[in-house]
Every structure is written in C-alpha cells, then in structure tokens.
Amino acid sequence: MAKVKTSFFCQNCGASYPKWVGQCTSCKEWNTVVEEVVQRPDKKGWSSAPTARGTAKDASIPRRIQEVENQQYQRIAMPDEELNRVLGGGLVPGSLVLIGGEPGVGKSTLLLQMALQLPLKTLYISGEESAQQIKMRADRMGITSEDCYLLAETRTQSIFTHAEKLQPDLVIIDSIQTIHTDYIDSAAGSISQIRESTAELIKYAKETATPVLLVGHITKEGSIAGPKLLEHMVDAVLQFEGDRHYIYRILRSLKNRFGSTSELGIYEMRSNGMLPVKNPSELLLSSNSQSLSGSAVAATVEGMRPLLVEVQALVSTAVYGTPQRSATGFNAKRLNMLLAILEKKAGFKLGAKDVFLNLTGGIRIEDPALDLAVVAAILSSNVDTPLAKNQCFAAEIGLAGEVRPVQRLDQRISEAAKLGFERIFVARSPRSEIKSEAIEVVQITKLEEVLPFLFQKRASEN
C-alpha cells in the first residue's frame, strides 16, 4: 500500500507535532494530542466508480438558493413501526445512523432482527461476535432470510472490498469501536481510529447511496464512547434506554437530520427478539383492581405520542433524622421543588418525612405535565388515602403554586378518554375553551383548587 502521511494534532488548540507527546506545549493540556491522516493516496474502486444505485457526487459549484432543486428522499421503510417513527418515516439512502446503549439493552438484537426482516440485501459486519454466534441469535429469534450476509471483519479496507463485490442495500457495523483502518497506527477504539473509520464509512455511504447503521458503546457516564465529534459526523443518533431488570426498552432520537428529535419508540424485550409496543399506555398503567394510596396517573406526551403513566409515591416519617428524597424516572431536583411548593403554598409539612417517587415500567420522562400527578400521588401517600382510579392529571406547577397549561392538551385528553378515564385535571387556558364530550375536564388555576377534588369520591364512599 502507498505511504500515508499522518501528523499529530492537539484537540484543544490545534497545534501540530511530528510525533505523539503527552502534554501539548502550546496550551499545556495533557492527553489531547491524537494522530490524524493528512494525506492519503487516491483509492480506486467504490470511491470513484459508479454503482448500481448512484454515482460519485457531482463537482460542487456556487449556485443561487433559488436554483437549488428540492430533493425528496425515497426513504426505506423499516419492518418495525417504532423504528420508522424514531427515524422520521424510514431510513434515508446514504445516511449514517449511530445507535448507542448500555451492554445487553438490545442494540444488536434489534439490528439483526431488522436485517432478517428487510427484503433488502443486507451486510451485517460484526467485530465483536463470530458468524456462528450471530446465527445462534437468529435461530433463537426464529427468523430466516436469504438476503442477510454475515461478515466477521474489523478492517475497513477489507470491509469495502467485500461491499464492492456484494453491493448491499444496507450495511450494519457492530460496533464502530472495533473497526480500524490501516491509515492510522493506533489501536482500534482510540479517538483517531474512530474518527478516521467513521469518515471512510461516511464517504462510502454518500457516494454509493447505501445507508449505514453503526452500533456505539456507552461510557459509565451514559454518553456514547469515543470523541464527541463522532455524533456530529453522523446523520442521526439513536439511544436505547431501559433497565435490564425490566422488559421495556425505549429508543430515543438525540439527533436526526431528516426528522424530529422528539420521537421515541417503545419495545418489549422477549426471548424471540424486540417486540414493538403499539399501545404503551396500557402497559404502563397498573392492572390492579384494588385502589392503593400514593398512586396517580399522568397524561404525558413524548414526541408525537401521548402516554398515560402511573406515578407512585411513598411518604413516611424520617427515621434517621435527615429526610431522604429519591426519584426513579423523574428529575430529583424537580421533586425537591414540588415538595417546597407544597410546604410553602399549600401548608403541608413534609420537611421531616422521607419521600420516594417512581414511574412504573422503568420509563424516564421529562415532561413538566407530570407535576400535578406527582403532587397528587405525594398527598395521597401522606394521608394514606387512595385516589379515585377514574381520574388523571396533566398540568405544570409553577413556583408560586399556580397551575400552568401544557402543550398538546387535546391529544392528552383524547388518550385519557380512550383508556376509560372519566375526569382529567388541567390548567385553565385563557386563550381557548377546553371541552370534551367523552371525559370531564376540570380546569384549575391554583394548586389549592385541586385539593378538594382529590379525595372527594373516597370520602363520600366511606
């Protein structure tokens, strides 16, 4: 192979060095000098020759914005509706999608399942598992395909050679941290290797109009391993969330150049693969017919999808002196804020009590519409009295104790009525009148106004 010219650059200030040094002499930062390719020989083959689906990109020339024609992407429809939703309607040809998640969350299972179900020629490249291990997982899922090809390879030059012969419609790399190129001498998984390998894959994807899916590792802090530049280079970043002790998994879109980043997909982890959940509200609500204290239902919206989530709270006297505040699936700082509002504005003495909060199903939601349901669950547990099961909540609470409206209220009300709820508490909106024939809509402006409604039905029953 022809000689490749490389140099070493500081990632902090950009200073260049002929060899690696531990400390940059310019900015005095440590471990910021990495190797980069400065000049490589021209490659023949896939990078310049036309393929079955497209040709090399035309030479770029300056044009007026009015002269640029709008191009409609012919998306590749996935066999999974949840993945289609997160991608923005399907996979765009020539795009590079990075999927991250903790070990064992189901990244490889979802991609292999998709590769076996797609009626396209798919090249599944694994740098961590052998072809026999992948075949065993496919047999466990009970899916067979004539168009899925397996390749256990980590060298990019070999990968492109096989891809040029096979000309697949889709390429899956599992994972990018195991791929390396001959142009960089550092080990696979290093910053230089990840960046250079990703750059070569981007060039291949754009010039052949072949979509490429990458699997990325996760650090202990929860971010995708490798340089932050990796997320800027790709077209979309998807992240799997979920506790391995629960069967539900959430696929979120953190970046998407071809769609919205507010969408999410919900899956159920089974022995035969990842099953999409079409109606997650029924799974996130308790099926227990007996009413329990400390439980309230919130009407939330994640992306374009309305969800009804059960909020559970436990309030007890602090035994060890210092009260504990713990939240699972909910922002702990926001929980402390709501407790301060209850103490200051509503007069509830919760400062000497332990408060534990949990969103059922292992889901994590940042929607501020959870506030009113969290307050209702805390008050229900504090007096040990169940709430009526036919009511739900959808409103934000401000620092002054006022109840503030939330977005897309019509979808929340419609979802609550569809699941059989008879009453929903929302904030009073001065701009428009909120009406619904299928469910009673109770509009309130202050936190004090909702308190008489919480235990009204229970008191009349007793």
Give CA separation, 244 vs 217, 362, 438, in Å: 16, 10, 38
Instruction: Judge whether 86 is annotated as a binding position.
Output: no
**277: its two tokens:** 């959940």
**Cβ-based neighbour number of residue 176 at 10 Å:** 27
Q: Are the beta carbons of 151 and 124 closer than 8 angstroms?
A: yes
Q: What share of the chain is helix, strand, coil (3-state, %, to 5)?
A: 30, 25, 45
Consult the annotation and say whether 386 binds a ligand.
no
Say whether 107 counts as a known binding-site residue: yes
Is 101 annotated in a binding site? The answer is yes
Task: Please check whether residue 238 is in contact with residue 251, taking contact to mean a CB–CB distance below 8 angstroms.
Answer: yes
Q: Going edge to edge, which strands form the sheet with 305-317?
A: 325-328, 353-359, 305-317, 295-302, 391-394, 423-427, 440-444
Instruction: Please say whether the beta carbons of 233 and 202 come within 8 A.
Output: yes
Closest CA to 439 of 389, 369, 392: 392
Three-class secondary structure of residue 250 per DSSP: strand
Measure Cα distances from 86 to 247, 374, 415, 418, 462 in Å.
20, 28, 20, 24, 48
* Known binding-site residue numbers: 101-108
* Known binding-site residue numbers for ATP: 101-108
